Amino acid sequence: MSAPVIPCGTLYLVSTPIGNLEDMTFRAVNVLRSCDVIFAEDTRRTKILLARYEISRRLESYHSFNEHGRTPELLARVKAGEKIALVTDAGTPCVADPGFLLVREAVKAGIEPQIIPGVSSLTFAVAASALPSDKFAFYGFLPVKSGRRSARIAEIAAENKSVVIFESPYRLSKLLGELCEVLGPEAHVAVIREATKIHEEVLRGSLGEVTRKTANRSWKGECVVVVSPQTVISDTESGD
């Protein structure tokens, strides 16, 4: 059972743009301007965002390699009355990014995190895919090791809903080939690359078609794959 909420400072988890800096919300800008300190996954990238909106606040690092060590300190500072924000490189903390540990420990300590929502590559991909969106599963980044990776792809094949996968551009061709082999060439897929950026691109089609057309391609940028294990998609599956 969670500890009772106690008076203290404030912990904010702030969503940031996934590419186009103009996607920053008014609320997010105001919150960051009001904070005593901003913890960032990459302070160098966050400096660019803060400069764009003329936000002058102290920056400290918080990422997957130091989160266990910094979380108690950060929560202690919130309890002492500081207003603290956590931002990641892009999108919303906790979604394939650091943040879960901090939120879990904050709730245990009686601190209610304030979530400042914004643009998300997950929802962008679901909308852009043209695949059924009434229900979907998010698998994040698949394991790299072959055994665990194969098991996860088998889980995806058994889904009765669209599946969203994050993937490195260096492994994207491999992923498409793996999905094609297990789900079959007729399964539907969409590859969303560089969402909201200058070179934004969406490729849609059957797994066989997309895999074949991009076999020799050198992928670049942030990539999201949406796949539907179902080979037949009706108009009624849109959820509207």
Across residues 161-176, what is the average pLDDT? 96
50-63 tens-digit pLDDT = 999 999 999 999 99
Crossing angle of helices 172-183 and 146-157, rounded to 10°: 50
Q: How many CB atoms lie within 10 A of CB 235?
A: 6
Question: What distance in Å separates the CA atoms of residue 125 and residue 75, rounded to the nearest whole number?
Answer: 34
Indicate if the alpha-carbon torsion angle 33, 39, 41, 42 is positive or negative.
Answer: positive
11-25 tens-digit pLDDT = 999 999 999 999 999
What pLDDT sits at residue 2? 60
Query: Hey, what amino acid is at 50?
Result: L
215 confidence band (pLDDT: 50, 70, 90): confident
What pLDDT sits at residue 229? 84
Q: pTM of the predicted model, to two decimals?
A: 0.87
List the alpha helices (DSSP H) in the chain: 26-34, 43-52, 67-79, 100-108, 121-128, 146-157, 172-183, 207-213
Q: How many CB atoms lie within 10 A of CB 150?
A: 14
Across residues 101-127, what is the average pLDDT? 97
Pairing mode of beta strands 162-167, 136-141: parallel
Pairing mode of beta strands 188-193, 223-228: antiparallel
167, β-bridge pairs? 223
14, 28, 46, 47, 136 from 56: Cα distances, Å:
16, 14, 11, 9, 39
